Amino acid sequence: MTKNIALRTLAVFVVATTANIGVGALVDVEVWKSALMAGVWAVLSVAQKLAQAYRDGQITEAELKEIFE
């Protein structure tokens, strides 16, 4: 399950990064900065949702599916 969460989180980072590279270029922000900011923001959002789901001491497959939708 840990590998699954890590790979899904990496996918969230990549998706957020690629979506924001163009926006950064439009407002004259360096590409790597725009990508890093978007990726970190997305990963922190996932981490927050995982922490909320873990309040009972476990994360179910249904909770994981909901977090990564």
So where are the chain's domains? 2-67
Please tell me the predicted confidence (pLDDT) of residue 43: 93
What local confidence, expressed as pLDDT, does residue 27 receive?
A: 84
- pTM across the whole model: 0.77
Q: Which residue has the tokens 């009972």?
A: 56
pLDDT at residue 25 in the model: 79
Supply angle C-alpha 15, 17, 18, rounded to 5. 70
Question: Rounded to an integer, what distance in angstroms lies between the CA atom of residue 30 and that of residue 34?
Answer: 6
Tens digit of pLDDT at every position of the chain (69 positions): 778 889 989 998 998 888 787 788 788 888 888 889 889 999 999 999 999 999 988 998 999 988 988
pLDDT computed for residue 51 by the predictor: 94
